[in-house]
A and B are shown apart, each in its own frame.
Chain A
């Protein structure tokens, strides 16, 4: 079985994120870049599928030069090979272009499963897996809290507001996984050493057969008009409980007409 896992380098989850004043894109230099937390679950799930059913796992990432670290991180967890799509023309790409680039990188390589995290912690759109499934014309089995395979049948539990839906489809399929589907492994020392020797294909937009003019900020189909930091909240009232803390909140909520 051939499995791909798509990962993204994002600013550290715990860092304050800002937009760049120059072009309103995410200021990626302002914080450490890490493997998107939700993608760690995707890598783990893909590794578990590969281990249980046999197969080769390729990690695919689109991102600037330093996203190579993120590809290596996934390799050190156990992925076999990497594809890093890096090209200056990609800066500022919207989800439409990103999905086109990923689909072009994935297409024709015979992947049976393409695994994603359910969202990135920076953009948080949750649309890329669905867009890639749309472009490749294959099954979309997303927001999975459980994945099981039997031959070419794939069954997932799709998280819903009320619980979950059991959804089935056949390979080839796009899967996205939610947080907590598994416990992502830490790269071992051996894994980190081995990752240095694993093959990573660095490809450009032209290598994928796409025109540079169709990606990047200028080609985006949505644009930021302006942005501003949310004005700081005026300081509220904080009191120390002297046996009447609950009553004081009740009084406040009454004043605010909540009760």
Chain B
């Protein structure tokens, strides 16, 4: 059986398995037998859920030494395991770390790399959604093994239970890894909400929100739905909402089940970051706002009337 390596992504707050890891496992099973690479503690605790989604082994890379350096330790371990297990493909999450590790690994082992895949079929053909979702591309790696970075929310995780063996990887940071060191980790985001790029529901606000205080109604709606909050570039440029939450061509790309855009006109800059959302709801005062073209359901009206009413309705239905 062909081995496929999957780099686990862990929840930054509690270290547990993130849903993206299960999505990667679901895709990896189409190519072979997945084995997971896990950085940090709680690897043996994670083995049961990883096994439930088809991982036959989890390689646990413990030790502070490996955690203290960005990206390169991931490349070192993946390179060693590709050789040791004769892996035929490597799937990593499309995070900053994941993409950079994939790129370096590709250079190091002489393989092609495909970033931001939204699907991978049994033959290794990746689907990518490029130019802000306006074009769908099918591509393949034609040299070496297939290295893919996969976007969150690309596939529904499907269980395929198997026994997952825990393997401890005993290694220390390489000289290349030691060229950069993490000295401090700072939590700066607004806690308590799902991460923007992997949330099932995203509620976002733009120019029409009018100011920082206006984002309160956006946040309330988001919380009623258990959603992440996003913002257009106009809103983040104006300083109304932190830049970390910008959705768009120069910000985050999201692909949730439901995207609710409030007071966002829908320039290409913004559409590029949310066009592949499954269901889009748009609220805007301006009936001519281009984003209505993408709306499955739209309301032309004042968001400060419409959004609180919607929040109340959701709250009353769930009570």
Q: Using CB atoms and an 8 Å cutoff, list the residues of chain A in contact with chain B.
A: 13-19, 24, 37-38, 94-96, 99, 121-122, 124-131, 133-135, 137-143, 155, 157-170, 173, 179-180, 220-230, 233, 235-241, 243-250, 252-254, 256, 258-259
- Contact residues in A for B269 (Cβ distance below 8 Å): 13-14
A225 to B142 Cα, complex, angstroms: 11
Q: Which of B233-260 contact A (CB under 8 A)?
A: 236, 243-244, 249-251, 257-258, 260
Are B297 and A162 touching (Cβ within 8 A)? Answer: no
Which residue on chain B has the smallest CB distance to residue A118? B96
Are B100 and A241 touching (Cβ within 8 A)? Answer: no
**Interface residues of B, count at CB 8 A:** 98
Are B180 and A139 touching (Cβ within 8 A)? Answer: yes
Are A140 and B281 touching (Cβ within 8 A)? Answer: no
**A contacts with B: majority SS:** mixed
Q: Which of B109-168 contact A (CB under 8 A)?
A: 110-116, 125, 129-131, 133-144
Q: Which of B177-222 contact A (CB under 8 A)?
A: 179-189, 195, 197, 201
Are A121 and B250 touching (Cβ within 8 A)? Answer: yes
Most buried by B among A179, A220, A241, A249: A249
Are B113 and A127 touching (Cβ within 8 A)? Answer: yes
Which residue on chain A has the smallest CB distance to residue B143? A221
B36 at the interface (CB under 8 A from A): no
Which residue on chain B has the smallest CB distance to residue A240? B300
26 A-B Cβ contacts within 8 A? Answer: A13-B268, A17-B131, A126-B96, A127-B99, A127-B106, A130-B100, A130-B103, A138-B179, A139-B179, A140-B71, A140-B100, A158-B70, A167-B183, A179-B251, A221-B110, A221-B111, A221-B142, A223-B142, A225-B139, A236-B297, A236-B298, A241-B301, A246-B299, A250-B310, A258-B258, A259-B225
B295 at the interface (CB under 8 A from A): yes
A90 to B209 Cα, complex, angstroms: 46
Stretch in contact with the other chain, from B26-34, B52-60, B80-88, B311-319: B311-319
B309 at the interface (CB under 8 A from A): yes
Are B134 and A16 touching (Cβ within 8 A)? Answer: yes
B102 at the interface (CB under 8 A from A): yes
Are B295 and A238 touching (Cβ within 8 A)? Answer: yes
Chain A min CB distance to B140 (Å): 6
Are B13 and A162 touching (Cβ within 8 A)? Answer: yes
Are A222 and B139 touching (Cβ within 8 A)? Answer: yes
Are A230 and B107 touching (Cβ within 8 A)? Answer: no
- Contact residues in B for A254 (Cβ distance below 8 Å): 317
Most buried by B among A180, A253, A256: A253
Are B106 and A96 touching (Cβ within 8 A)? Answer: yes
Are B137 and A227 touching (Cβ within 8 A)? Answer: yes
Query: Assuming A165-B186, A224-B139, is B107 touching A135 (CB within 8 A)?
Result: yes
B104 at the interface (CB under 8 A from A): yes
A239 to B96 Cα, complex, angstroms: 40
A208 to B284 Cα, complex, angstroms: 54
A16 to B12 Cα, complex, angstroms: 36
A143 to B243 Cα, complex, angstroms: 14
Are B186 and A238 touching (Cβ within 8 A)? Answer: no
Known: A162-B12, A179-B251, A236-B298. 14 other contacts (CB 8 A): A14-B268, A121-B250, A126-B103, A127-B100, A130-B99, A131-B107, A167-B183, A221-B113, A227-B138, A230-B129, A238-B282, A241-B300, A245-B299, A246-B312
